[in-house]
Structure 1
Amino acid sequence: MSSTLVIVPRGHWMNAWFLGLCAVPVISVDGQERTGRWGMPTEITVEPGTRTVAVGAHYRGTRPVLGAQDTTIEVGPGQQLTVEARNGLFNHEPFTVTAERK
């Protein structure tokens, strides 16, 4: 039985406007990257178990993904788990990935 991660990338309130104009969020689950949209949920189907999630920002015109830091998240069978990723006040700070527990 598969599970679903719902990942919502957000910017810090002080610099979210800048990220929205200049960067695209990049979501990595178990090493597979995909782009997301700021403030919008991205649903990813995963197998239950321990997953490695990282979210960072890819500035337009550049290659590297900045601010990504691996976080381990446990996903149960058939579970839909919402995860919020938010960058710090300064753009060099890694994103904090937090799972919503119900």
Structure 2
Amino acid sequence: MTEIKLENLPPEEIKNIQDYRIVLLDKNYERLADKVDAGFREVRESISSLRNELKADTDNIKLEMHNLVNSTLWKIPLLIVAMSTAWGVVKSFAIPLFN
């Protein structure tokens, strides 16, 4: 209703219309609040899911690094033994040739 028509109504009717508008505004507010809450809930769930995925990826990287280090560490002493053995072989064969 327009303001002109409201002026022609009795005060009780104007009060009823205002009360009805307040009820409609409350309902709209509740619907909007529910939508906002649902949106925040979705955002929180997405963040939680991404956090869990990131943690899983980080754990996988840690495991891969651990495996890489463990697979490399045992090769170092083996390489030292192989080099010293090779040097011993070279010394035993090459040095007599030059004497």
TM-score, normalisation: structure 1: 0.12
Bigger relative CO (Cα 8 Å, ≥ 6 apart): 1
Greater fraction of residues in strand: 1
Structure whose alpha-carbon radius of gyration is higher: 2
Q: TM-score normalised to the size of structure 2? A: 0.13
Larger proportion of helix: 2
